[in-house]
Amino acid sequence: MADIPNQMSPGQFTTPKRPLTWLITGCSSGLGLAIARLVQEQGHFVVASSRDPSKTPALVAEIEGDNKSTGLWIQLDVTDLNSGDVVERLESERGIQIDVLVSNAGASIHSVVESFTEDEARRQMDILYFGPFRLIRAAVPRMRRRGFGIVVNISTGAALEGRESMGTYASGKAAADALVKVLAKEVAAFNIRTLTVHLGTFNTNMPKAAIAGANAIPACYQDSIAAKTIQVMSEGVLAARGDANKAAMQIVDVAMGQGAGAGHEGEFFLPLGEEMPARIKLVRDRLDHCLQVYGAVCTDVKLDKAG
């Protein structure tokens, strides 16, 4: 198989010269809300969603306005097995065709790997992997038939290098990242592009929404980084280093191929957060080190040619 670059040719993607329709999950606060507000300000139509819109009536009223001409707020639980049906309903009942899908909804459970329950692991995968998968599976065929689409996957630096206490969170995000990597290669020929955003820490509701696992961790972990992280996350006091509104601006610009994204429409990844350069370098250095140590072994296992 030929080597596949980490980007597609920017010239192979075109964007319609019209307002786009965005479906964004997890809009009740934080980054999802910031993206929804920004794209609406830029003249696009927003379908914002949350699990329980009744909890945020003021936000619903803000996005929908007086006549829902520039925005709509819908109830959407991405863990629902039928959550992908929302794409069909929007199209058949309201004539709304999704141009940009932003999978932002998330939640985190913290423990050491050996102490997570099966239900906790499955819950994380349902939110972080199966939720985006269901919406992608529903939206992409329609994007493909129309000859345009953008899939934005909101991920985390923890999916790149792993973080103590984040075994199920990091793996759920990493699974979605891998899904979108493959998707990008499969759908580029249909003028559908993808963007995975690897985030550092931002001033969102994520720390306050984080919970500790149901099982107490073994005593031998009590002084570990994992234990300290669990305490910080369960107390909701993680110190944010990034501004969600600034992050939203960069995400929208890069997704749309404007601002920092102009001429870079073929890029797969967007790291955001001042911690991210060091985290990316750590992953790169580990892989380089692995090749230095095992390079000869790696290539010394080829099948011998028959005599």
Got the DSSP string for the chain? -----SB--GGG----SS--EEEES--SSHHHHHHHHHHHHTT-EEEEEES-GGG-HHHHHHHHTTTSSSEEEEE--TTSTTTTHHHHHHHHHH----SEEEE-----EEB-GGG--HHHHHHHHIIIIIHHHHHHHHHHHHHHHHT-EEEEEEEETHHHH--TTBHHHHHHHHHHHHHHHHHHHHHGGGTEEEEEEEE--BSSSHHHH-EE-SSPPPGGGTTSHHHHHHHHHHHT-----B-HHHHHHHHHHHHHT-GGGTT-TTB-EEEESTTHHHHHHHHHHHHHHHHHHHHHHHHS-PPPPP-
For residue range 252-297, list pLDDT tens digits in order.
Answer: 999 999 999 999 999 999 999 999 999 999 999 999 999 999 999 9
Q: What is the set of domains in the chain, with CATH numbers?
A: 21-276 (3.40.50.720)
At residue 218, the pLDDT reads 94
For residue range 74-107, list pLDDT tens digits in order.
Answer: 999 999 999 999 999 999 999 999 999 999 998 8
Among residues 49, 108, 165, 169, the one annotated as catalytic is: 169
What pTM, to 2 d.p., does this model score?
A: 0.92
Which ranges of the chain have pLDDT less than 50? Answer: 1-3
At residue 11, the pLDDT reads 64
- Mark whether 129 is an active-site residue: no
At residue 304, the pLDDT reads 86
- Mark whether 155 is an active-site residue: yes
Among residues 155, 165, 171, 221, the one annotated as catalytic is: 155
